[in-house]
Amino acid sequence: MTITLYLMRHGDAVPAQALQADAIRPLSPLGEEEVLAAATWLQQYLAEQGQSGLDWLLVSPYIRAQQTATIVAQTTTAKVRDISHDITPAGDADMFAEWLWVKLAAMASTSAQVMVVSHMPFISYLVAALDQATPPLIFPTAGIAELQVDIAKRKISFVRMIAATPAE
């Protein structure tokens, strides 16, 4: 069984302000446009693959990641949406990668399309932790890395980085 795993960085966020917690920074208007462009691309790509949407959407609790996931879910649909406190900017990518592998293997018969919405630098290190042949990548805002998960071979392979551009 093969699972397609999409790792997405949230869209552009408003700049950090003094005395404002990083977790509550929302998407900027540009970030909303970036995410809508990426979500539209994803919806079209899933349709081309004969998929109706995402089976599982796993999201950081930070506001900008939640907003990103909401736009994605409204555009593509997601059967299940969960929050993980382990995928914040300071999360441990290696530890999460081990947990994610076990979770994906357990759900292989019911899930084919999975997305994780997170932050830099975590998401960059997660790609490298999942596919050790790929170095940490610089994700553009609202960028999506596509990976293939081959459960039988116990292998995850980076396929490509997608960076959709908002319409002018």
- Name the CATH superfamily, with its identifier, for domain 2-12+24-162: Phosphoglycerate mutase-like (3.40.50.1240)
Q: Where are the domains of the chain?
A: 2-12+24-162
H or E element, residue 143: none
pLDDT of residue 167: 75
Residue 20 has pLDDT above 80, yes or no: no
What is the CB neighbour count within 10 angstroms for residue 86?
A: 17
What pLDDT sits at residue 19?
A: 59
Structure tokens at 118: 């997170």
Q: Tell me the mean pLDDT in the region 149-156.
A: 93
Average pLDDT, the chain: 94
- Mean pLDDT across 108-123: 93
pLDDT in tens, 29-52: 999 999 999 999 999 999 999 999
Contact indicator for 75, 35 with CB cutoff of 8 Å: no
Amino acid at position 126, single letter = L
Of the pLDDT bands very low, low, confident and very high (cuts 50, 70, 90), residue 166 is confident
What tokens were used for 2?
């093969």
**Dihedral angle of Cα 36, 129, 14, 25, to the nearest 10 degrees:** 100
pLDDT, residue 64, reads 98
Least confident of 94-98, 111-115, 128-132, 144-148: 111-115
pLDDT at 18: 63
